[in-house]
Amino acid sequence: MQHNIIQITDTHLKNSTGAKQMKQRFSPNEKLDLVFRDIKRHHLKADFIAITDDLIHEGNIADYCAFKKMISCKQDRLKMPIYVTLGNHDRTKAFYRGYLKQKSKDKYYYQITSSDYDYYFLDTNFNNIEQGYLDYKQLNWLGERLSQSDHPAIIFMHHLPYAPH
């Protein structure tokens, strides 16, 4: 069975502290709003939307609270789930406290299963280094799940699984 996924990446939304932003004609917040408007305007239907990483450029708890509110509104409006992953410009502790309303953990990774596919959302953020990293704990978790499933797997993550030399 065919599944449709809309992937949005590297949103780098402006944070509330006014931290340095990339020089762009439109703000990242305006661009993301335009993306969601296009999805609605063109009646794009998907099983889900994946926003893969760098959600808020060095955001704080309040930024992730506002992001969660915006994502919930977009989910309701578009009538499709939105899943996220973290990137090297995200702040894991602030994400857990603001977006998830949970006690912080070191990594944010999870699995979503449909009748035909397993979707894995991995966390390549590692001490905010640019190239990212998948730790053994997460790789072992992924390996166990892949070995126990007969579904095809689709993996979402911010960084490449290896760096070309």
Residue 137: pLDDT band (50, 70, 90) is very high
Q: Which domains does the chain have, with CATH numbers?
A: 5-156 (3.60.21.10)
Kindly give, in sequence order, each residue whose CB lies less than 8 Å from that of residue 102, ignoring residues fewer than 6 positions away: 96
Give residue 6's pLDDT: 95
Give residue 69's pLDDT: 96
Q: Nearest-CA neighbor of 22 among 46, 57, 48?
A: 57
Give residue 128's pLDDT: 62
Whether 129 shows a pLDDT value over 80: the answer reads no
DSSP state letters, 43-103: T---SEEEEES--BTT--HHHHHHHHHHHHHHHHHHTS-EEEE--TTS-HHHHIIIII-S-
**CA atoms lying within 13 Å on the CB side of residue 104:** 9
Residue 12: pLDDT band (50, 70, 90) is confident
